Structure 1
Amino acid sequence: MAAVLAAASLSLAAGCSSGGGSGVQSADSGGPASTAASAPSDRSAAPAPHDYTVDTAASVPGSAHWTQAHQRGQLVVSIPHSGTPGVASKVNGGDRYSGFDIEIATMIAADIGFGPDRIRVVPGPTMDSAGGRLRWPNDVDFSVGLTWIDTGDGTQPPFLLSDPYYAGGAALLVARNNDAITTTTDPLAGRRLCLVEGDDNQEDAKTAYPQAVQVPLPQLANCEASLLGGQVDAVYGPDLDLRGLAAERPDDVRPVGPPVSPPGLAVAVPTGETALRDAINASLRHHIDNGDWQAAYQATLGPSGATASPPPATREPRTGS
């Protein structure tokens, strides 16, 4: 759970740009200021593949959040992986964001009646500092980039999950010229393995690679720098993020799979919003079937050299991230 929630703290309050395909403007462009930490990267992201046709007649009967968004004239979306190149990062150091998760959010928004100029990105679900409980921000309509979690106390997380939009999990990143590590099944005996400190991935890595020497650092970007500098042999983390890093530096690093743990990523909606979740599922299936999903992946994460296919059409409905 910590892995998801730590990533959520990197989201920015922002308004979405209305021109040039999908893009999210930073708070400096007029959106409300965020109390979350600044995104760790302003590196350029791949351009959006294309605009998505907005269904101006769309409605989601039975969804209180859709009704509120329609009344306020703005859809509020959280992107937990904000700041990761290729996933959700600044475009050319400017005030717009793009990436695979941004594309997913924008195509869904279009299908339920919101163009890119009517989307605002805010921090996602976080841990309540007082009670240590998972808290869903009241104004967030949906969040892109969550996976199933166990709250640890028998309670249900405050949201429902869509069908997965991405079927990955934790994986490795290595230097491009590293021919010794070619699969995640390598035991990494004696290898220096970098990961984000204080993250659930730390425990997962201990289980998956008990013979590796763990090197915890504050952020994934720090691990990438250590990898490029030769201080570590591999980086362990969410394969979507690792593919984003590799898409930015394909000549220097490469992702290694298959995923060690394959929970997949989904879109979360507040508890009780089954109508909105169903509309999101229909949107995901539509954009998978018409090729938009594949085009979005190729334009944003394709440069990593790692291929991907859309996840299966459906799964058993689950509460929780």
Structure 2
Amino acid sequence: MKVPQAGAVAVVIALALTTSGCGGGDEAKGTLSIGIKFDQPGIGLREADGTFSGFDVDVATYVAKQLGYTPDRIDFKQVYSNDRELLIQYNEVKFVVASYSVNDKRKEKVDFAGPYFLAHQDLLVRSDDNTIAKAEDLNTKKLCSVTGSTSAENVKNTLAPKASVLELGSYTECVIALQDRLVDAITTDDSILAGYAAKKGNEGKFKLTGQKLSNESYGIGLKKGDKDLRAKIDAALVKMVEDGSWETAVKKNFGPANYKYEPAPRGLTSGG
């Protein structure tokens, strides 16, 4: 019998290990990988001590529990607005809970459970700025948003086509640019902006203009065609509303900013 060369054996072992890890890595390790934002106060934030806070974190943790995963078995992974679909498609995460607005373009690549929250696009400006009262005022201003977000596209296409738009990698960078007067406003969902306005150290520096420039229905993104997982997540979201956990999470994360949130979306309540 011919004995395989050492190099060939190494290749065989490597292939075997790779194959055993494909698709079932989370299950083998007993953990569940969930994509969240790491830099959005009130939504998804990685604290200095390594823990996580925010409404999306609470939703993800609740859903994971209903799927049989305790908090210590959740592996939160950072996602950015422009890479959420890729992380789902390439099995880097099982699902994404990251202020992920449902739209037709995204539904071509991934499926959505929910929606579990309704936000509205708004503007955040410096507290001493009284020159921006409506979206059209942005035509002579510099606006900041995040690469891959639908918000800047909405402003440029329909609301203020002459606005100068600066796209950065995160909303945290946009807030710094706004504070340093490099931009005049930030646009994204009011829930995200409220989190930044209420963040410790930012009190009194910024204000929301109170616009409702669009409706943003947050869904939980998952791999296209995974009907079983989608049904389980939908059932978990309904239960979260019914047992009061949804309301508790909203008040805990948005209450300090006096944020006037919308009720739970229809379909998660007895209202249909």
- Which TM bucket (shorter chain)? 0.7 to 0.9
Distance in 1 (alpha carbons) for counterparts of 2:212 and 2:90: 30
Distance in 2 (alpha carbons) for counterparts of 1:179 and 1:258: 14
Aligned to 2:205: 252
CA contact (8 A) 1:108 1:283 kept: yes
Aligned to 2:44: 88
Aligned to 1:296: 249
Distance in 2 (alpha carbons) for counterparts of 1:160 and 1:234: 32
For the structure 1 residues 94 and 286, does the alpha-carbon distance in structure 2 shift closer, same or farther, using more than 3 Å as the test?
same
CA contact (8 A) 1:136 1:270 kept: yes
Amino acid across the alignment from 1:212: A
Aligned to 1:75: 32
CA contact (8 A) 1:127 1:135 kept: no
Q: Partner of 1:285: helix, strand, or coil?
A: helix
**Over residues 127-183 of structure 1, what are the superposed CA-to-partner deviations in whole Å (9 max), with x where a residue is unaligned?**
79xxx988613252221132334559xx931x321111121143211123434444x
For the structure 1 residues 177 and 296, does the alpha-carbon distance in structure 2 shift closer, same or farther, using more than 3 Å as the test?
farther
Equivalent of residue 223 in structure 1, options 169, 174, 182: 174
Amino acid across the alignment from 1:260: L
Aligned to 1:174: 125
**Over residues 6-59 of structure 1, what are the superposed CA-to-partner deviations in whole Å (9 max), with x where a residue is unaligned?**
xxxxxxxxxxxxxxxxxxxxxxxxxxxxxxxxxxxxxxxxxxxxxxxxxxxxxx
Q: How much has 1:204 moved relative to structure 2? A: 2.2
- Higher relative helix content: 2
Aligned to 2:62: 107
Q: How much has 1:119 moved relative to structure 2? A: 0.4
Amino acid across the alignment from 1:195: S
Distance in 1 (alpha carbons) for counterparts of 2:91 and 2:166: 37
CA contact (8 A) 2:120 2:214 kept: yes
Distance in 2 (alpha carbons) for counterparts of 1:134 and 1:123: 10
Aligned to 2:102: 148
Amino acid across the alignment from 2:115: P
For the structure 1 residues 251 and 291, does the alpha-carbon distance in structure 2 shift closer, same or farther, using more than 3 Å as the test?
farther
CA contact (8 A) 2:87 2:93 kept: no
For the structure 1 residues 281 and 258, does the alpha-carbon distance in structure 2 shift closer, same or farther, using more than 3 Å as the test?
farther
1:11-90 to structure 2, matched below 5 A, reads 72-79=29-36, 81-90=37-46
Aligned to 2:155: 205
Distance in 1 (alpha carbons) for counterparts of 2:257 and 2:162: 28
User: Rg larger in 1 or in 2?
Assistant: 2
Distance in 2 (alpha carbons) for counterparts of 1:126 and 1:231: 22
Structure 1 gap ranges (5+): 1-64, 316-321
Q: How much has 1:78 moved relative to structure 2? A: 1.1
CA contact (8 A) 2:41 2:192 kept: yes
Equivalent of residue 111 in structure 2, options 145, 160, 164: 160
Structure 2 gap ranges (5+): 1-22
- TM-score, scaled to structure 2: 0.74
Distance in 2 (alpha carbons) for counterparts of 1:178 and 1:75: 45
* 1:137 and 2:90 correspond: yes
Q: How much has 1:245 moved relative to structure 2? A: 0.9
Amino acid across the alignment from 2:209: V
Distance in 2 (alpha carbons) for counterparts of 1:107 and 1:309: 20
Q: How much has 1:270 moved relative to structure 2? A: 1.6
CA contact (8 A) 1:160 1:269 kept: yes
**Over residues 226-277 of structure 1, what are the superposed CA-to-partner deviations in whole Å (9 max), with x where a residue is unaligned?**
3223343211123332222112023221233343221311112222321221
Paired residue total: 241
Amino acid across the alignment from 1:147: S
- Please provide the CA RMSD for this pair: 3.2
Q: Partner of 2:181: helix, strand, or coil?
A: coil
- TM-score, scaled to structure 1: 0.64
Q: How much has 1:189 moved relative to structure 2? A: 4.0
Distance in 2 (alpha carbons) for counterparts of 1:276 and 1:197: 29
Amino acid across the alignment from 1:246: A
Percent identity (aligned): 27
Q: Name the stretch that deviates more: 206-215 or 261-270.
A: 206-215
Q: Partner of 2:176: helix, strand, or coil?
A: helix
Distance in 1 (alpha carbons) for counterparts of 2:240 and 2:88: 30
Distance in 2 (alpha carbons) for counterparts of 1:73 and 1:134: 19
Amino acid across the alignment from 2:146: V
Aligned to 2:6: none
For the structure 1 residues 195 and 175, does the alpha-carbon distance in structure 2 shift closer, same or farther, using more than 3 Å as the test?
same
